[in-house]
Structure 1
Amino acid sequence: MITAFFPGSFDPMTNGHLSILRKAIASFERVVVGIGVHAAKTPMFSFETRAVLIRDSLQAAGLDAGIDIVSFDGLVVEAAEEAGASVLVRGLRDGTDLDYEMQMAGMNGAMKPAITTVFLPASPQTRPITATLVRQIAGMGGDVSAFVPEPVLAALKNR
């Protein structure tokens, strides 16, 4: 069984994350979502809330997949290894992402050669979406309904 590890902050979960997660679920027998939790950062949503929003977003999209969700605060490749993953899933929006992710894949491969990085392209409609922009737009009262799954939109409105 091939296990894939899909890391990110997911703060908040976006339609872009959902697009990549949908592709990962279709491609691998087991998918583990790793939510980065860093003591130096103050997230919009707690780890627990982010985990619930990921599960609710998958269910709302008709992807009631049996994924695992874990938190991590160190190196992604260490978390992937702890999760039993042999594949690290990274989403790409554009060439800038590719340049950065290629460097990361090289460093991760040097540290953990048994873990292969796989790049999945963002769908055209989700390429401009970033969690940072969603947080900024939502924080200023803007409409982010086109950028996030319905459960996330509801959670943002309740903040």
Structure 2
Amino acid sequence: MRVGVYPGSFDPVTLGHLDVILRSSKLVDQLVIGVLNNSAKKPLFSAEERVDMIKEATKDLTNVVVEAFDGLLVDFADLKGAHVIIRGLRAITDFEYELQIAQTNHKVNPKVDTLFLTTSVEYSYVSSSVVREIGMYGGDITSFVPQNVVERVHDKFRK
């Protein structure tokens, strides 16, 4: 079975993330969405909330599973039986950073390769940080995130 891991913070999940999830789910038998639980960062949503939002947004994709993880990505990929890590690229600046991470991951675990997917043009400017900033000021984020995420972002900033 071909297993791929698509890791990220997904704070929150965006339509750009979903674009990569949908497209990469067609390339593997099982796609594991790895939601990074990074204790060094202060996310807007807990790892559990992010997992729930992604599960809801991907409920129709039968070969997609969503789990939180911490630690090394290559260890998580190994644990899941994955031989490919999928990363989305929005711009050339993403590539430089992602290439370095991919090469490091391959050095740490040569059984795992990285597959880069360019984000579809209509989502190339979307990022979770932009969504959080617009949401913080009560702006319209409906064209950036799945419908199930819109109200959750606004609720976070109302509190």
* TM-score, with length taken from structure 1: 0.93
Paired position in structure 2 for 1:119: 116
SS in 2 for 1:7: strand
Aligned pairs (5 A) from 1:120-159:
120-159=117-156
1:42 to partner: Cα distance:
2.0
1:93-130 superposed Cα distances (whole Å, 9 cap, x missing partner): 11111111111111111111100100011000000011
SS in 1 for 2:114: strand
Asked if structure 2 preserves the Cα contact closer than 8 Å seen for 1:25 and 1:65, the reply is no
> What are structure 2's unaligned runs of at least 5 residues?
none
Paired position in structure 1 for 2:20: 20
Paired position in structure 2 for 1:79: 76
1:76 to partner: Cα distance:
1.3
SS in 1 for 2:43: coil
> 1: CA distance between counterparts of 2:117 and 2:21?
9
1:21 to partner: Cα distance:
0.2
Asked if structure 1 preserves the Cα contact closer than 8 Å seen for 2:51 and 2:68, the reply is no
Asked if structure 2 preserves the Cα contact closer than 8 Å seen for 1:11 and 1:131, the reply is yes
1:64 to partner: Cα distance:
3.2
> 2: CA distance between counterparts of 1:38 and 1:94?
24
State yes or no: 1:31 paired with 2:37. Answer: no
SS in 2 for 1:31: strand
* TM-score, with length taken from structure 2: 0.93
Query: Match for 1:83: what amino acid?
Result: K
> 2: CA distance between counterparts of 1:38 and 1:95?
25
Query: Match for 2:65: what amino acid?
Result: D
Aligned pairs (5 A) from 1:53-132:
53-59=53-59, 63-132=60-129
CA RMSD of aligned residues (A): 1.2
Count of residues in Structure 1 that have an aligned counterpart in Structure 2 = 156
User: After the TM superposition, which parts of structure 1 deviate over 6 Å for at least 4 consecutive aligned residues?
Assistant: none
